[in-house]
Structure 1
Amino acid sequence: MPIDFHDEAQRLTYAARDAGAAWRHAMRALLDPAGLRVADIGCGGGVYCAAWRDLGAARVVGVDFSAAMLSGARERLAGVDGVTLRQGDACATGLDDASADVVFARALVHHLDDLTACFREAARILTPAGTLIVQDRTLQDAVRPGSPSHLRGYFFEAFPRLLDVERARRPSRQAVGDALARAGFARVRTRALAEERRTYDDRAEVRDDLLARTGRSILHELHDAELARLADHVTAALPSSGPIHETDHWTVWAATR
C-alpha cells in the first residue's frame, strides 16, 4: 500500500536526519539565503526548515498537508527560532501573496497530479524577484545501479515491479520545465545534486533502517515479508564491515519570473 502521510505512526519518519553539506553548497550556489523569507512547501519533518535557518534565512514557514507530519516537525524543530509551521495544500497553501523570497519544494512534486497548479501557487506567494527551487528525482536519478552509495538501486533488483511505481510517479526534466513555463516562470536553471543521505555504522544498521521504512515512501509498496526479503538482499550486497555512506541523486530546478 502507498504510504499514508496522515498516519501518526509516520510522524517522525521524515524528521530523523539533517541536510547534507552538498545540499547546503548547492543552495548557496543558487542564491544568498541571508535575510530571506523562505516557504518550505511539503516540509514533512522540518529538516529543511532548520537547514534554511542555518543558511541564514530570516524566517521560514513550513507548509504540509499532513497534521501527523507537522507534529513530527514541531518535535524536530523544538528550540529552533524563526520557523513557523502551518497545515495547507501545495496548491492552496493559505500563505499571503508575495510573502516569500524563496519557495522550496523538496521531494514533493512526484506526489502531485497537477504540477502547474502547484507552481502557480508558488508564483502567487513569491515576491516578483523571488525564486522557486524544486528538488526531486527524475526516473534517471532514481534507477541508478545499486551500490553501497546508492541503496535504492538494489530495491529494483529485488522487486522489479517497484520500477513501475517509479515510472508512474517520477516527473521528467521536460515535464517540470513545461509546467514551470505554464505557471509563468521564464528563466529556469537545472542542475544535478548528489546529496548525502546518511552514514551507517555497518550493514546491520542499514537493515534496521530499511525495515523501519525510514523516509522511503517506496518501501510502503511492499508488505512486511517482502520488505524483509529486500533487507536481506541489500544486506548481502553490502560490505561486511565498515561504514556505509548513502547518497541520493536529485535534479534541482531554480526558476524565476
Structure 2
Amino acid sequence: MGMDFHSETNRTMYTTRKADTTWVEAIKNLVPVDNISKAVDIGCGGGIYSKALSDMGIESVTGIDFSESMLEGAKTNCKDYENISFQHGTAYKTNLDSESYDFILERALIHHLHDLESCFLEAFRLLKKDGVYIIQDRTPEDCLLKGNKTHIRGYLFELFPLLIEKEINRRHDSQHVVQTLRETGFKHIEEIKLWETRAVYENKKQLLNDLTSRTGRSILHELDDNELELLVNHIDQVLLLDNNIIEKDRWTIWKAIK
C-alpha cells in the first residue's frame, strides 16, 4: 500500500503542524543560525520546517520536493513568507546553483532513499565552504522503542509486528550514514539523539482523530481502514491519560560540515 506523495488528496498532509520548540532549540544549539543567510530544505513536504527556519531568522529559504502536489500545499502554507520559495527537484538533483548555500536541512527524507552517496554529493555541491548539513531521520534502533504515554508511535509495531521488518529495511543505521558522509567529503560529523515533541493534545479524542486521519504519518498508510481502526481502539484502551497528552518522536540528527 503506502502513501502516494503525488496524490492531490495528500496535498495538505504535511502542512498542519508547527515545528515544536524542542526542534527549534536543538537546531539552534547545532547551527550558527545568526550567520546563515541562505538555506535549503530538501524534502520539504508541506513547508512546516521551511517556515520554522524562516522564523529562526534565516533570510532566504528554498524548499525542494519531488512532489508537485506537496509543493502546492507548501506554497499555500507559507504564503505569508516572502523569503521562502519552492522548486521541484529531488535529493539527487535539486537544480540549484553550486556552492551557494550556508545550510541544508533534510528532515525525514533519507529513509525514502536507497542511494545516500548521490544524496550527500548533491548537498556537498550546494553548500559553501564551511556550510552546515543537518540530516534528521530515524535509525532502526529509534523505530523499535516501545509505546508509552508519550511515544505513541511505538504502539503501532507492538500491534502489527509484521510492519517492523518493513520499517527497519527502509532505515539507515548511523554507522552507514556517518561513513557515507565522510566518503563524500564532509567533516566534523556529529550524531545527536532528539526527543522531538510532535504535538500536544488537549484530550485523547484529539489524538485518536489525528491518528484516524493519518495526517502527517506516512507509516499509517501501510494499514488498511480496518487495521487502522484496530490500532486506534488499541491506543484508546492502553493509553491511560485522558487529557494533556504530549506526543514525542525519537530522532537521530547528523551534523556535518563541508
Equivalent residues of 1:194, 1:248 under 8 A apart:
yes
Deviation string for 1:64-103 (max 9, x for gaps)? 0001110110111111120000000110000000111001
Query: Partners in 2 of 1:110 and 1:198 — Cα distance?
Result: 22
Structure 2 unmatched ranges of 5 or more: none
Aligned length: 257
**Residue matched to 1:204:** 205
Structure 1 unmatched ranges of 5 or more: none
**Residue matched to 2:217:** 216
Query: Partners in 2 of 1:99 and 1:230 — Cα distance?
Result: 46
Query: Partners in 1 of 2:140 and 2:202 — Cα distance?
Result: 29
Q: Secondary structure at the match of 1:243?
A: strand
Q: Match of 2:5, as an amino acid? A: F
Give the deviation of 1:240 after TM superposition. Answer: 5.0
**Residue matched to 2:90:** 89
Q: Secondary structure at the match of 1:201?
A: strand
RMSD: 1.0
Query: Partners in 2 of 1:250 and 1:223 — Cα distance?
Result: 26
**Residue matched to 1:15:** 15
Deviation string for 1:119-148 (max 9, x for gaps)? 000000000110110000111112211012
Q: Secondary structure at the match of 1:123?
A: helix
Equivalent residues of 1:106, 1:136 under 8 A apart:
yes
The answer to whether the aligner puts 1:123 opposite 2:124 as a matched pair is yes
Query: Partners in 2 of 1:2 and 1:94 — Cα distance?
Result: 28
Equivalent residues of 2:203, 2:244 under 8 A apart:
yes
**Residue matched to 1:80:** 81
Query: Partners in 2 of 1:29 and 1:215 — Cα distance?
Result: 26
Query: Partners in 2 of 1:242 and 1:92 — Cα distance?
Result: 45
Deviation string for 1:131-172 (max 9, x for gaps)? 110000111112211012001110011111111111111111
Deviation string for 1:41-76 (max 9, x for gaps)? 000010011100111101000000001110110111
Query: Partners in 1 of 2:166 and 2:202 — Cα distance?
Result: 30
**Residue matched to 2:64:** 63
TM-score (norm 2): 0.97
Query: Partners in 1 of 2:217 and 2:49 — Cα distance?
Result: 17
Displaced runs of 4 or more, over 6 A = none
Q: Match of 1:160, as an amino acid? A: P
Query: Partners in 2 of 1:186 and 1:78 — Cα distance?
Result: 36
Query: Partners in 2 of 1:240 and 1:148 — Cα distance?
Result: 7
**Residue matched to 1:103:** 104
The answer to whether the aligner puts 1:190 opposite 2:191 as a matched pair is yes
**Residue matched to 1:230:** 231
Query: Partners in 2 of 1:181 and 1:198 — Cα distance?
Result: 35
TM-score (norm 1): 0.98
